[in-house]
Amino acid sequence: MGNPPKVEMMPADKQARLDRLLNEKSEGMISPEDEAALEQLVAEAEQLMVENAKRLASFAEDESPAAPSSAVPVTVWVKPPSSTN
C-alpha cells in the first residue's frame, strides 16, 4: 500500500488574512475592498479543497482492489445476537 498524497494547505499568511476577514465580515465591519479580497481568498481555499479531494479520491481508487468483472453486488443481513441481561 502506498502513502497517501500530501494534503496541500493555504500558506499561513493567506490563511491568517482569510481568518481576519471572515471575522470582520461576521461582525459586520468589512470594507467593500476587503470583502472583494475575502471572496478571492474563499475561492482559492475552495479550489485547494477540490484539488486535495481529487488527489485523495484518486489515491483511494488506485489503492482499492478492483472487483472481478463477473462479480455481482449483494446485500447481506445479519441478525445481532440477543442480549441477555
Whether 84 contacts 22, CB under 8 Å: no
The domain limits of the chain are 12-63
In 3D space, the residue among 84, 8, 2 whose CA is nearest the CA of residue 48 turns out to be 8
Alpha-carbon torsion (61, 63, 66, 67), positive or negative: negative
| Strand locations in the chain (E) | none
What single letter denotes the amino acid at residue 54? K
pTM over 0.85: no
Q: What is the pLDDT of residues 41-79, one digit of tens each?
A: 999 999 999 999 999 998 888 776 777 888 888 888 888
Q: Above 80 in pLDDT, residue 11?
A: yes
